[in-house]
Structure 1
Amino acid sequence: MEVLAEQRQQMIMEMFSDSKVVKLKDICQQTKCSASSARRDLQILEEQGSLVRIHGGAKAKHDLQREMDMTGKSTQNVSAKDRIAQLAAAKITDEDVIFLDAGTSTLAVVRYLRPEQHLTVVTNGVIHASQLADQGIRTLLVGGMLKNTTKAIIGTKTVRDLQRYRFNKVFLGTNGVHDEYGLTTPDPEEAAVKQAALGQAEEVFVLADGSKFDAVSFVKIADLEQVTLITTDIPRVVFDKYSRQTNILEV
């Protein structure tokens, strides 16, 4: 029996209760419609503000673009972030030049850095720079515009500053880790900063607790193959799926 367009669209929205990302092929299979009909449904739902189309499917709009401020993020998954930070810090060797992305996952790394390591730390995080200076660690804060919510320095000047440097290791946070859509974040300008740092690195580590897996946000940062993931508390089936594409260090 043919499913009416309104029914299909309701079925599509119900699919989001089981998955954070709905793929076009799954819509066609579940609603028994053609790809062109599914695309029209997604266009209508996007115009209604219910979702945002992405390559090969769609993601709920509010999840794609929503971003907590630093206060809100700092209360989430604190224990997991701390364990991830300890493993990340263990990857740093004496006299390394590193980049610490703005964000609470990378901020947790700061407390494990020591002056006697003789590090040079470049960051676009204002809070990061302050804490690093308090610990007596050589710190460079890149220039640019301050984003009030995340206390990150962003913009074209930030990207230009980063392109002047070379890093032994880069540590990034992310809002989403997905086996098809890669690493994503809500803000295009923060994504540009992460991409600039990644392009100047010998090694790139992405710090992501279990809540970030199978999630997709608005702007792509990089493919999984470009980084090493440091994580904890992920099910074995998730570990196995993502380890096919990238190196995973699990606490």
Structure 2
Amino acid sequence: MLPAEREQHIITILKTNKKATIHTLANEFNVHEATIRRDLNKLEQYNQIKRTHGGVVLNDTEVWDELNFDDRETSYYYEKVAIGQKAAEFIEANDTLFIDSGSTTLHFARALAQKSNLTIITNDIHIASILKSTSNQVIVTGGTLYKDNYLLNGMLTNEALKHFNPSKLFLATPAIDLEKGVTHFNDTLASTKIQMVKQAKQIYVLTDSSKFDKVSLYHVCPNDIIDVLITDQTNSKIDWEAYHNHFNKLITVNTDAQSETF
């Protein structure tokens, strides 16, 4: 099989399965993993795919799914650490917080280790386990456990959220767009995010820049109600000036935790 044919077949596999590992692709085409890496390098140059830790996903503006939590945590790792640390600078004594489930919000939770006198409500058991060693009060919403992602969701989660009116929400998202705002591919997960948005006084969105200019099926919230958007500046394809005009406050961080406010 010619390289061009194999590359096209790789795209077809990703459209069907959403993701693949280098090992799986090598077995599929009966070639060495180094050959697959060369194919992926070429596809990445043409912006058709996005490399992840040990694998690959289709690079598309419409988000239908996402990797499991462990894969997402290693993708844009240093950017997510810097985003979490910057977000922690907005925390004040006696704050009450919603922390949404997500790989970026997990790093935000880690950055709260030295904070105290907080009340934190989360639907993520991984986040709750990190916060258990702090002096803060931690409340877990309950709900149905999504085992691959450590999150709790569903009717019980949404009902629990209605009982809280936190000062700040730290929201994660797989997709954000200038026109469509924050969206999500799963209606059940989107409904929980929507409930969090309704209850919170201030909304902080924490997301790496690979999620920009992406749209998913279910609407979560418009851009104009977001108080602070914190992201990284590694995505050179983003029209940062346009995003600045759509948000009350946009902060980009470098992996060395230096930041720029627009």
TM-score (norm 1): 0.72
Residues 134-143 or 230-239, more deviating:
230-239
Q: 1:238/1:140 Cα in 2 relative to 1: closer, same or farther (>3 Å)?
A: same
- 1:187-220, CA deviations, whole angstroms, 9 ceiling, x for partnerless residues? 1111111111111111100011110111112221
Aligned equivalents of 2:242 and 2:60: distance in 1? 25
> Does 2:218 correspond to 1:245?
no
Counterpart position of 2:89: 90
Deviation at 1:136, TM superposition (A): 3.6
Deviation at 1:182, TM superposition (A): 1.1
- 1:133-164, CA deviations, whole angstroms, 9 ceiling, x for partnerless residues? 02343100002111122211111111111111
Q: 1:189/1:119 Cα in 2 relative to 1: closer, same or farther (>3 Å)?
A: same
Aligned equivalents of 1:61 and 1:104: distance in 2? 20
State the AA in 2 paired with 1:193.
T
State the AA in 2 paired with 1:101.
D
- Say whether the 8 Å CA contact 1:115–1:137 is kept in structure 2: no
1:118-129 map, 5 Å: 118-129=117-128
Counterpart position of 2:232: 232
- Say whether the 8 Å CA contact 1:84–1:232 is kept in structure 2: yes
> Does 2:107 correspond to 1:105?
no
State the AA in 2 paired with 1:211.
S
- Say whether the 8 Å CA contact 1:124–1:154 is kept in structure 2: yes
- Say whether the 8 Å CA contact 1:93–1:117 is kept in structure 2: no
After the TM superposition, list the runs of 4 or more consecutive aligned residues in structure 1 that deviate by more than 4 angstroms.
Answer: 60-63, 234-237
Aligned equivalents of 2:181 and 2:61: distance in 1? 19
Deviation at 1:114, TM superposition (A): 3.8
Deviation at 1:235, TM superposition (A): 4.2
Aligned length: 192
Counterpart position of 2:132: 133
TM-score (norm 2): 0.69
1:72-83 map, 5 Å: 72-83=71-82
Deviation at 1:96, TM superposition (A): 0.4
- Say whether the 8 Å CA contact 1:106–1:173 is kept in structure 2: yes
Aligned equivalents of 1:61 and 1:239: distance in 2? 19
* Stretches of structure 2 lacking an aligned partner (at least 5 in a row): 1-58, 254-262
Deviation at 1:129, TM superposition (A): 0.6
Deviation at 1:237, TM superposition (A): 5.8
Deviation at 1:167, TM superposition (A): 0.7
Deviation at 1:236, TM superposition (A): 8.9
- Say whether the 8 Å CA contact 2:117–2:135 is kept in structure 1: no
In structure 2, the residue corresponding to 1:164 is in which secondary structure?
Answer: coil
State the AA in 1 paired with 2:251.
L
Deviation at 1:83, TM superposition (A): 0.8
- Say whether the 8 Å CA contact 1:99–1:122 is kept in structure 2: yes
Aligned equivalents of 1:175 and 1:218: distance in 2? 11
- 1:31-61, CA deviations, whole angstroms, 9 ceiling, x for partnerless residues? xxxxxxxxxxxxxxxxxxxxxxxxxxxxx99
- Say whether the 8 Å CA contact 1:176–1:185 is kept in structure 2: yes
